Amino acid sequence: MLLKSHILLPLISTLLTPASSTFVVQCFSRLFDERADPIVNPGVVAGHVHAIVGGNGFNFSMDYDKARASTCSTCYIKEDLSNYWTPKMYYHAKNGSFIPVPINGDNQYGDMGGMAIYYLNRKGPDNDKLHPFPKGFRMLAGDTLRRASSTDFADMAVQHQCNVAGGPFVDQALPKRKCDSIRTQIVMPSCWDGKNLDSADHKSHMSYPTKSPNSNYDGGRCPSTHPVHMMTLFYEVTYNTNAFANDWYSDTQPFVFSNGDETGYGFHGDFVNGWDIPTLQKGIDTCVDGVTDCEDKVFTKRTQGETQSCKLPNMIAEPVSGILEKLPGCNPLTSGPAYATKVENCPAAKIAKVSDASLGVPDLTKSKGWKYIGCGTDNAGSRTLNGPQTSGPKMTVETCVDFCKGKGTKYAGLEYSGECYCGNSIAADRAPQTGVSGNCLMKCNGNAGEICGGAAAISLYQTCAGGACSNAVKKRSQRLAAVHAHHARRLVGRLIEAAS
Ligand SMILES: *[C@@H]1O[C@H](CO)[C@@H](O)[C@H](O)[C@H]1NC(C)=O
Ligand SMILES: *[C@@H]1O[C@H](CO)[C@@H](O)[C@H](O)[C@H]1NC(C)=O
């Protein structure tokens, strides 16, 4: 199992060769993928799913203090508790369903792929002093409705890099050819109006540099309306599109973003500042041309395991991974060139208060002496629990636990709303390992208040006979932390050996 962690190597090798006049905030995993966007849709469910990294103070609405109150982050610089997010990519299957494209680093333990955020020190032709992002600062770049190319810096700043032999090839659109991976990337604007921490469209308090023969979206002179020059943020998310290399079925490419965008032009990025400001200033001043390994000189760092064990539970009862029949948020597929229109009349989804009960886990510890141990994975070809099974239109967690209890097995597992499986062992690679709720998000046929697994996801219960009896909802994330810390230590050890 340890070997699977080698997927993380590309991210680590980036760290070994940092560019000068730059520092990189490496985010080794995601908090979660969720229809959350505290900038555009504060306090409510957002229009589409985002892949979200950074401090666990993130929430549907948040401010600088909430960010700073984070107790962990999926990004490795301790002084940075900011949040960064972008739309999530899906593969659109021939039969119409949507399957998440793995982000580089995702593995059997869950969403262990993240993002790299480059802080580029680009002072422009006048060698401007660069300023840190102030408290409460936030911004959005890109346009979720755009579906055509353009020569505006704001549009040119969104790109997709096809990593393939003979490449890489960079374009504003998603590549039409098969790529080993696609690196989606966006350069954020770097010129601030000096007054507003945010603006109505979340963009106009910022600007890209002024267009000139020598300028570009990632470097140049700031306009007089936006004279305060800041670091230039550059987001990179690498999607392992190669996982679907054998599943292309038409003359067009099969990947879409969560906002329904088939073109790639509607990709965007969001930033909520959560920095310790003096440390960010020190990074700006220190990480200049010729200085390498700047992260080590200025910042303190979390281990990779610490970043990977930082998770938030999903708070909206809708699946965002697994095999989806449609994109969450009623987003239709759009291919331009006309602008897409904003989705109206999508049934409102609720933000749930996170508790065992809201995760659909009934407490059977006292009534039946069985405990919930988490959400595992299953495979129709080789069942996780391969003992007796039953199914039915009135399935509840209680029905299944009673059935397996009657058969004398140690475990009971529920899947796909109405299937019940019993067994006496669970293979380690099928055991609960992902975030708090995993992909067990389907309601039980016989009780809509309970969760009965999901597609290829199994809600697992275990008899307490001979052991402690409490539901594992919270303990599991702690165990996950330990597992990842262990793996990270082993991995870093090997890297040091390999490098020396
Ligand atoms: C996050 O937001 C939800 C919904 O607004 C709220 O119920 C919850 O208490 C918030 N969590 C924290 C830690 O503030
Ligand atoms: C649709 O296609 C996907 C990908 O090939 C497959 O995994 C899924 O099971 C299919 N769904 C149905 C309902 O046939």
DSSP 401: H
Mean pLDDT calculated for residue range 360-365? 87
What is the domain extent for residue 367? 357-474
The verdict on 183 and 252 lying in the same domain is yes
Tell me the average pLDDT of the chain.
86
Mean pLDDT for the stretch of residues 493-499: 32
Residue at 328 is within a domain: no
The model's pLDDT over 90-123, given as tens digits with 9 standing for 90+, comes to 999 999 999 999 999 887 556 779 999 999 999 9
CA angle, residues 153, 157, 159, in degrees to nearest 5: 140
Give the Å distance between the CA of 323 and the centre of ligand 2. 7
Considering every ligand atom, which ligand is closest to the CA of 65? Answer: 1
- Same domain for 441 and 362: yes
Q: Which of 281, 308, 335 is the last residue of a domain?
A: 308
Ligand nearest to the CA of residue 62, numbered in listed order: 1
Banded model confidence at residue 468, pLDDT cuts 50, 70, 90: confident
Model confidence at 353, pLDDT cuts 50, 70, 90, reads low
295 and 383 inside one domain: no
Is the CB of 60 inside a 6 Å radius of any atom of ligand 1? yes
Tokens of 37: 């966007």
Query: Closest-lying ligand to the alpha carbon of 95?
Result: 2
Q: Name the residue with the closest Cα to ligand 1, atom 8.
A: 353
Compute the distance from residue 98 Cα to the ligand 2 centre, in Å.
9
Quick one: how far is CA 171 from the chain centroid?
23
Which ligand 2 atom is the nearest neighbour of the CA of 94? 2
Whether residue 410 is contained in a domain is answered as yes
- Same domain? For 223 and 95 the reply is yes
Whether residues 290 and 362 share a domain: the answer is no
Number of structural domains (the chain) is 2
What DSSP string describes 437-493?
Answer: STT--PEETTEEEEE--BTTEEEEEEE-TTS-----TTHHHHHHHHHHHHHHHHHHH
Q: Is the pLDDT of residue 489 over 50?
A: no
- Answer yes or no: do 138 and 285 share one domain: yes
Would you place residue 9 in the very low, low, confident or very high pLDDT band (cuts 50, 70, 90)? very low
Indicate if 408 and 301 belong to the same structural domain.
no
pLDDT score at 360: 75
pLDDT at position 381 is 81
How are strands ordered across the β-sheet holding 32-34? 32-34, 50-54, 83-87, 268-272, 138-142
Single residue among 308, 324, 339 that ends a domain in this structure? 308
In a domain, 317, yes or no: no
- Residue 259 sits in the same domain as residue 371: no
Q: Which of 335, 352, 343 is nearest to 437 (CA)?
A: 352
Residue 195 has a pLDDT of 98
In a domain, 132, yes or no: yes
Task: Please check whether residues 160 and 257 belong to one and the same domain.
Answer: yes
**482 domain-assigned:** no
Residue 444 CA to ligand 1 centre (angstroms): 26
What's the CA gap between 11 and 9, in Å, rounded?
A: 5
**Domain annotation covers residue 321:** no
Name the pLDDT band for 375 (thresholds 50, 70, 90): confident
Tell whether ligand 2 has an atom less than 6 A from the beta carbon of residue 242: no
**Boundary residue ending a domain (308, 341, 370):** 308
**Is residue 407 located within the same domain as residue 263?**
no
326 located within any domain: no
Same domain, 237 and 384: no
Domain co-membership, 102 together with 233 = yes
**Residue 403 within any structural domain of the chain:** yes
Kindly list the strands in the beta sheet with 115-120, ordered across the sheet, starting from the edge strand earlier in the chain.
22-27, 115-120, 232-239, 181-187, 158-163, 169-171
